[in-house]
Structure 1
Amino acid sequence: MVLERNSGLENWFPNTSLTTVGVVRSVIECGILCKEAACVSIVYETIDRICHLNDRISNISECSWKLNTRHYSVFSGIIEGYDCDIVGDSCIKLLSAQLPWAAASAECASEGATLLNIDSNSEQLAIQQFMADQGLDNIWMGINDVTSEGDWRTEDGTNPVGYNNFNGGQPDNYNGNQDCAVVRQSFGYRWDDEECILPVYTVCEMKSVGFS
């Protein structure tokens, strides 16, 4: 049971009546709200993260043009490939390819997700176990200090990092170009700064409950 994306309706907005829920944390949350309301599809605005509930599956002849929208038929509040049983309030997905940080961020964003953002000790422990189970040495995190050295912020640059689990002596900005954070197995799954252009395994995250 998944949210089934209808790529044929990308950027098409139904002319029929929609229930606008408002800003949500993720497309998963939009799907959950749809499921609770017994609607059959959603229209999700990827930039503004606005959730619209639809009581039908629209077709292009009944729609108007609206950029940056995605359409899903709703069978549950979970997108295929995401696991919602690992981290308490999140659903996560491991991408198959190792990617540079910017490409990893873009790939997660294309699904309405973000790079992994560890904001508590419980989430840290859950991710450690996940990495051990998957045999992962390093994974990207959604924090960086690209704009100002030492000022670590979340992926969109708006929020300073609250919870911190950098390894002793890190971040050290080795060779002056380490601006993206990883969880590093060899550091006991503590954090390290790394060059953003290097290919690293990527975990995408969607918050599954609550409003932003």
Structure 2
Amino acid sequence: MEYGLKKFWARLRLMQYILAIMLLNNEVTAVNHVISKLTRVSSLDDKICVTKDLIFSSNFGMLNRCLLMCINETKCLSVFYNQIDGKCRGCAEIYSSPGGLISFTGFIYFQKEPKTVCEESGSWTAYKESCYMSSPSGTFQQGVDYCQTNGAHPVYVETSDENEFLKTFLAEQVSNNGLWFMGMSDSTKQGEWRYWGTNEIVTFLDFFHSEPNDDGSNSQQCAVFVQPYRFNYQWADHFCTDISPTVCEKSCCETIYT
């Protein structure tokens, strides 16, 4: 009987120990999840925001509770947490430098990150200061008309970063022939590519190594992205009367903080 009780209590202690480890792991996971939603900026440690920027001031005792309070408060864009006494100050601003902040030892700083979103719902996708959408299939002029109807223009690919984003964007789009028109043409002078609508010289190019390959007749006056199994979304010159979607671009955006 005594041996049985000892065995029972030993098993109970083991179960309590296992449960404590599981709870600790869950708590660590929860803390890491909350912390990952804000950005740590150590250059603004040992500071607090001024009174006019203060949204809330409380003693939560734990970092994750402090950060969660800011995450759930729309007006809170940054937070100072005191590692010594657990005090938490939520602020209505994001700070880029310590100028104007109050020095206070022990506080560490976190902030929400701005995210651009297109104001309209639907098929628009935001990247930096532009929104993008793929039109229904049609000629290049029909694509231009569709873009303009939606307050946009055929896309101007101006940088390598934007071009890489568009490759990712196009991987989620559908084109029956694997081509998408963009907003440039060499209709004025063969081989001299200019942006549609502005006539400015295109300075960034990403043509496939065998492109452009117009035979000299200047009949392929438009430019297209080509699907990855052929050109990995690099560019080719193409007939403007072909039936393909057009990538539309317009200035955006609404900025939200997450």
Q: Which range, TM-score by smaller chain?
A: 0.5 to 0.7
Partner SS for 1:158: coil
Give how far 1:79 is off: 3.1
User: What's the offset of the Cα at 1:84?
Assistant: 3.9
Task: Select the residue among 112, 128, 138 that pairs with 2:167.
Answer: 128
TM-aligned CA distance change 1:77 to 1:182, over 3 Å = closer
The structure that has the greater radius of gyration is 2
Matches of 1:150 and 1:134, distance apart in 2: 28
Aligned match of 1:202? 246
Indicate the residue corresponding to 1:90 in structure 2.
130
Q: Which amino acid aligns with 2:140?
A: W
Of 155, 177, 180, the residue aligned with 2:222 is 180
Taking structure 2 as the reference length, the TM-score comes to: 0.47
Residues 1:104 and 2:143 are matched in the alignment: yes
Is contact 1:81-1:93 (8 Å) kept?
Answer: no
Cα–Cα, structure 1 residues 174 and 81, in superposed 2: closer, same or farther, change >3 Å?
A: farther
Q: Distance in 2 between matches of 1:90 and 1:182?
A: 19
Partner of 1:154: 195
Alignment partner, residue 164 of structure 1: 205
| Deviation of 1:166 (Å) | 0.8
Q: Quote the offset at 1:133 in angstroms.
A: 2.1
Q: Distance in 1 between matches of 2:138 and 2:118?
A: 27
SS of the equivalent of 1:93 reads: strand
Q: Choose between structure 1 and 2: higher helix proportion.
A: 2
Give the Cα–Cα distance (whole angstroms) in 1 for the partners of residues 132 and 206 of structure 2. Answer: 20
CA RMSD of aligned residues (A): 2.0
| 8 Å contact from structure 1 (residues 98, 199) kept in 2 | yes
Cα distance in structure 2, aligned partners of 1:125 and 1:203: 14
How far 1:174 moved relative to its partner?
A: 3.9
The separation in 2 between residues aligned to 1:187 and 1:84, in whole angstroms, is 23
Distance 1:193 1:80, change over 3 A: same
Contact 2:185 2:196 (C-alpha < 8 Å) held by counterparts: yes
Distance 1:115 1:133 in 2: 18
Q: How many residues align?
A: 132
User: With CA pairs under 8 Å and 6+ residues apart, which has the higher RCO, 1 or 2?
Assistant: 1
Q: Is the 8 Å Cα contact of residues 185 and 221 (structure 2) preserved in structure 1? A: yes
Cα distance between partner residues in 2 of 1:167 and 1:82: 28
**Residue identity matched to 1:156:** G
Runs of 4+ in 1 over 4 A off after TM superposition: none
The DSSP-based 3-state class of the residue aligned with 1:187 is coil
Distance 1:84 1:153, change over 3 A: same
> Structure 2 CA distance, aligned partners of 1:175 and 1:198?
19
SS of the equivalent of 1:170 reads: coil
List per-residue Cα deviations over 1:14-61 (Å, max 9, x = no partner): xxxxxxxxxxxxxxxxxxxxxxxxxxxxxxxxxxxxxxxxxxxxxxxx
Secondary structure of the residue that 2:138 maps to in structure 1? Answer: coil
